[in-house]
Structure 1
Amino acid sequence: MEDFFTIIGIGTTGGAVLEKIYQSGMQNSRFVICLDNVTALNASFIPVKIRLAQNEAEIAQADQRLTEEISRTVESTELVFIVAELDDDGISRTTTWVAQQIRAMDRRCVAILAVAAIPDEATLQRMNSLCDGLIVVRSTAAGVDTPVYSMERAIRGLVAMCRASWDTVDFSDVAYVMRGMGRMAVVEEEAGGEQRSEAVLAGIIDQLAAFPFAMQGVDRILLNLSGSPVNPVRMREQHTLVKGLTDQIGSLPRLFKTVYTEDHALADRLKMTILLWTPMGH
């Protein structure tokens, strides 16, 4: 089976996101974990491990290791995710370095970065110029908008969009959706019963209320609806969910893409995963 995706987790937060996705058994993906903590690196089950520099004297050697491993891993994949929290200069420098290597290999790349309330604008602008898309998550946000949860859901949502039809995977579409620098929210809800779509919509709206940006500023939406083969998503349910979301936002986003997938484990339940993207400043 072909590996379409490479996910590179850098630092403690990026590594935590990577471990969750890897342990869930995501297929068609390659994983690279980059940590400066040798104990944590050795404990990881992820096969490709890179030890980051722990001081300035080790930077050149660490960069060489990064370049070699990334070249081998990324070469035949279509889309690369870089996941990191820019919580110190070393992680910021490494994240930028990795993006430069991927750009040099002419691979499509989306960076998902957790940043402080007052972010390092220079690093973000540099990453924006190197990557096809850049999603920014607040490091200090409360409630459901924790960095690991949001970053994990962002990757799952984008991967689901690509997997909607293996025969017509359009990775350039993914790059377009994520183009530019913005903030995002990713939430998920599922429910069963006759009113399952209404229950899912109510849960999604409750979760979105916790996010610290105005829904009216949402510019792009990726919506993944999942049902089981014996109880798939109905047209009425799709209408309920899409109309409910657009009513909540107050306007029709510039891009609204819906993907349908099947999951035998859902039985009679309906699941919805939604990624909202809004430009920085909203």
Structure 2
Amino acid sequence: MEDEDYFAIIGIGATGGAVLEKVYQSGMRNCRFVVCLEDVTALNASYIPAKIRLAGNEAEVGQAEQRLTEEISRTIESTELVFIVAELNDAGISRTATLVAQQIRAMNRRCVAIVAAAANPAFPLAVPDEATFQVLSSLCDGLMAVRSTGAEPDTSVHAMTSAIRGLVAMCRASWDTVDFSDVAYVMRGTGRMAVVEQEADGEQRSEAVLAGIINQLAAFPFALRSVDRILLHLSGSPANPVRMREQYTLVKGLTDQIGSQPRLFKTVYSEDGALEDRLKMTVLLWTPV
């Protein structure tokens, strides 16, 4: 199957639309994009070619959901993996995300939902709109929750964008040692997940990459010590490949954060001339629920 028919990303609401714009403008053209917004002005201004207007009031819900169902069916007909990106801060967005997930499941496509929710200092591992979260858990193959700070720039948008890029890179890779079936295996069952990526150069590049990875993981509201499966990708350039010392630093640093050895831990290496002197790490973490 061609790359352009393999992935679809559906951004719902303002936050989902912002993530979609960032991914689209980053150059990831070989997948399908759909933006779903209530604001007509924002929808018209979007660079995304496939646009769906969400209902502005209860009277419009029926027609809006019909348009949504028809467009989603056309978009994902020949895809294998679909991302749903949204912030669960509005009943209409939660309803739309659930409807999209139901449509994807009915068409027997693999689905990953990446949702943002406002952070609650009193309950750092809790997710607002838990009812929608649980419904999405039952409908999607993978579910990522990101804390939304509400500050500018919103770190949740960066975390969600990075997660999509990292997971797409893992699924698309033509390595002998890992492919989409590995990612699907890690994502089996019901669980919460995180995907982060970081790169750095210099003599202490592995330490810098590890610090960046740990800092990014703070945006995901689940306990690192419950992580059960890890898929890790390390990449350097042919002129400056990943060294054994760097591998040890990164793997040990990550497992120290988790506190135990996960039941599944797979590491893959690749070379990318564009990295020059930089070291890049992408990691998928999965914790069952």
The farther-off stretch of 155-164 and 105-114 is: 155-164
Q: Does structure 2 conserve the Cα–Cα contact (< 8 Å) formed by 1:11 and 1:91?
A: yes
Instruction: Provide structure 2 residue ranges, at least 5 long, that are not aligned to the other structure.
Output: 121-126
Q: What is the SS of the residue equivalent to 1:135? A: strand
Deviation per residue, 1:68-118 (Å, 9 max, x gap): 111111011110010111111100111101111111111111111112445
Identical positions, percent: 77
Structure 1 pair 148–168 and aligned structure 2 pair: CA distance change class (3 A): same
Structure 1 pair 226–106 and aligned structure 2 pair: CA distance change class (3 A): same
**Aligned positions of 1:147-186 closer than 5 A:** 147-165=156-174, 170-178=179-187, 179-182=189-192, 184=194, 186=195
Which of 41, 45, 49 is matched with 1:39 structurally? 41
Alignment correspondent of 2:106: 104
**Aligned positions of 1:6-25 closer than 5 A:** 6-25=8-27
Structure 1 pair 86–206 and aligned structure 2 pair: CA distance change class (3 A): closer
Alignment correspondent of 1:130: 139
Give the CA deviation at 1:195: 3.8
Alignment correspondent of 1:146: 155
Structure 1 pair 213–74 and aligned structure 2 pair: CA distance change class (3 A): closer
Alignment correspondent of 2:124: none
Alignment correspondent of 1:190: 199
Which of 254, 260, 270 is matched with 2:269 structurally? 260
The farther-off stretch of 122-131 and 186-195 is: 186-195
Between the aligned partners of 2:285 and 2:269, the Cα distance in structure 1 is: 17
Between the aligned partners of 1:164 and 1:155, the Cα distance in structure 2 is: 14
Between the aligned partners of 2:18 and 2:154, the Cα distance in structure 1 is: 15
Between the aligned partners of 2:79 and 2:176, the Cα distance in structure 1 is: 16
Structure 1 pair 239–18 and aligned structure 2 pair: CA distance change class (3 A): same
Which of 200, 205, 209 is matched with 1:200 structurally? 209
Between the aligned partners of 2:199 and 2:177, the Cα distance in structure 1 is: 27
The farther-off stretch of 57-66 and 214-223 is: 214-223
Find out whether 1:83 has 2:85 as its counterpart: yes
Structure 1 pair 180–2 and aligned structure 2 pair: CA distance change class (3 A): same
Q: What is the SS of the residue equivalent to 1:18? A: helix
Find out whether 1:215 has 2:217 as its counterpart: no
Between the aligned partners of 2:250 and 2:176, the Cα distance in structure 1 is: 27
Between the aligned partners of 1:6 and 1:60, the Cα distance in structure 2 is: 24
Q: Please, what TM-score do these two structures have when normalized by structure 2? A: 0.85
Q: Does structure 1 conserve the Cα–Cα contact (< 8 Å) formed by 2:149 and 2:155?
A: yes
Between the aligned partners of 1:211 and 1:9, the Cα distance in structure 2 is: 19
Instruction: Provide structure 1 residue ranges, at least 5 long, that are not aligned to the other structure.
Output: none
Q: Does structure 2 conserve the Cα–Cα contact (< 8 Å) formed by 1:50 and 1:65?
A: yes
Between the aligned partners of 1:256 and 1:73, the Cα distance in structure 2 is: 34
Alignment correspondent of 2:278: 269
Q: Does structure 1 conserve the Cα–Cα contact (< 8 Å) formed by 2:116 and 2:147?
A: yes
Structure 1 pair 209–6 and aligned structure 2 pair: CA distance change class (3 A): closer
Q: Does structure 1 conserve the Cα–Cα contact (< 8 Å) formed by 2:146 and 2:221?
A: no
The farther-off stretch of 187-196 and 78-87 is: 187-196
Give the CA deviation at 1:183: 5.5
Structure 1 pair 256–69 and aligned structure 2 pair: CA distance change class (3 A): same
Find out whether 1:68 has 2:78 as its counterpart: no
Calculate the aligned-residue CA RMSD, in Å: 2.7
Structure 1 letter corresponding to 2:237: S
Between the aligned partners of 1:146 and 1:224, the Cα distance in structure 2 is: 23
Give the CA deviation at 1:180: 1.7
